[in-house]
Amino acid sequence: MKVFHLSAECYPVAKVGGLADVVGALPKYQNQMGLQAAVCMPYYERKFVQENEFEVVFEASSLLGTQRFYFEILKEKTNILGFELFLVKIPGLLDRENVYSYPDETEQFIAYQIAFLDWINWSQQSPDLIHCHDHHSGLVPFLLEHSRLYHRLAQTPTILTIHNGQYHGAFSWAKLGLLPEIDLSKTGLLDWNGGINPLASAVKCCWKYTTVSPTYLEELTYQSNGLEYLFYLERAKGTGIINGIDTDIWNPKTDTMIPENFAIRTLAAGKQKNKAALCEKFNLSPDKPLISFIGRLVVEKGADLLPAAIRGSILAHPGGVNFVILGAGDVKTQDALLALHAEFPEQCNVFIGYDEVLAHLVYAGSDFLLMPSRVEPCGLNQLYALRYGTVPIVRTTGGLKDTVIDFGDEGGYGIRFVQASVADILHAVGRAVSLYETTPHLQLLRKRMMALDFSWDRSAKEYVNLYESLKPII
């Protein structure tokens, strides 16, 4: 079975969030299971592209409205990622450094989708399935069925995976002319709330859609930034599949980014050596419980709650708890966290930005990982934490609910709280400090966490089963 994954991100080519981690791992594991999975994404002028060899496998021109654009399809020569990687390069449109936030972003992603479809159509490629990820490729299911230009591909099954239903890629009907020739009697399939909505269109037109956790599948029916009724109507098409993690990259036994490798048998000593290195880097004491946060400093992640929650926790446990923050985002939140570091330099430190090597050390060296998310479709951070024996402290939402069982429940290993509030975080931190003080219990939970299987082997098989279920329909 030949499958194309379409995505705006793919680790390590270009990463903004968890979407990149998924698309950088799922095809590799699918190939190991016997599929022929490939990724086609926009071209970005980034380190990976500069350091690896690509060849032009197709070039042509197409139309974006009345403007003709030229494009190339570049293929990475060595399959270094474990799958075929194709890049859509369009001079002046898809040849920049950043993934998002350009004023012509709508034009960028429409042109990307047109170029991909033209390529597989004109080059007589015949994928057995096209797997779209988020709204950036959301027009593909509609165009396959309702543009005569792609009539040859009209019966190609399409699956949509929704990594974050808050972002739709919506744009005005004034830009309808940017699309290729379509059946104008079908424009209702593009519409939502008076505009063209690529995510809504994909949900309507795809053969099946998935969310990155079962709980998030339900949450979309009441929390999806205006698409709640659509998800309610189309819920029979949906399946929730928990994301996996790439256990080749995230493996404390072999991780080259941490100072001390460890396994379940050497857990206590390994964690302590990594914690010592982390604390030395941030001028903190390794003898106190260390709670970390990694992620975007945005409301969606509950980051606005961190300054008050950290300050309250430090005051509630004088000299007894340390915090490390790794992230960037809202300027006010960043400033408040930096002010906390100035106020409590021996108990709180902050790194504004993102550093992959540092992130590995934080997972390996922390005692607890805090995730107070308001919205978390799946979450990968808690899965990385579990892999490295770091207890996740999470709000009960989305994939956090599906992957973390509170240690107070049978078989539990993490800490959960209900409300995205400072009070609930303070209570959860108090439980974490108490747990830290009962060393034998904490070590037992750490061993239980590290034995869990959240690898892509399990999740990739669920996707393959979903693909196979479409065969009788074809």
For residue range 69-94, list pLDDT tens digits in order. Answer: 999 999 999 999 999 999 999 999 99
pLDDT value at residue 319: 74
Compute φ and ψ for 142, nearest 5 degrees. Answer: -65, -50
Would the pLDDT of 226 be above 90?
A: yes
- Please, which pLDDT band fits residue 432 given cuts at 50, 70 and 90? very high
| Over residues 456-466, mean pLDDT | 94
Would the pLDDT of 474 be above 60?
A: no
pLDDT value at residue 472: 61
User: Nearest-CA neighbor of 240 among 87, 399, 90?
Assistant: 399
| Over residues 50-62, mean pLDDT | 98
Instruction: Calculate helix-pair angle for 267-282, 356-365, nearest 10 degrees.
Output: 130
What's the whole-model pTM score?
A: 0.91
The backbone region for 101, taken as left when phi is positive above 0, alpha when psi lies in -120 to 50, beta otherwise, is left
Would the pLDDT of 68 be above 70?
A: yes
Classify strands 158-162 and 208-211 as parallel, antiparallel or unpaired. Answer: parallel
| Over residues 449-461, mean pLDDT | 94
pLDDT value at residue 17: 85
| Over residues 389-413, mean pLDDT | 97
- Please, which pLDDT band fits residue 306 given cuts at 50, 70 and 90? very high
* Lookup: tokens for 63: 């139309």
* Torsion on CA atoms 305, 311, 312, 317, rounded to nearest 10: 140
Mean pLDDT of the chain: 96
Kindly tell me the burial class for residue 403, based on how many C-beta atoms sit within 10 Å of its own C-beta (0-12, 13-18, 19 or more). Answer: buried
Instruction: Return d(Cα 179, Cα 114) in angstroms, integer.
Output: 8
Residues in the chain: 474
Instruction: Return d(Cα 330, Cα 310) in angstroms, integer.
Output: 17
Would the pLDDT of 363 be above 90?
A: yes
Question: Which domains, and CATH codes, for the chain?
Answer: 2-244+457-469 (3.40.50.2000), 267-453 (3.40.50.2000)
Instruction: Return d(Cα 434, Cα 444) in angstroms, integer.
Output: 15
Query: 246 or 448, which is more confident?
Result: 448
pLDDT value at residue 39: 98
Would the pLDDT of 457 be above 80?
A: yes
- Please, which pLDDT band fits residue 341 given cuts at 50, 70 and 90? very high
pLDDT value at residue 232: 97
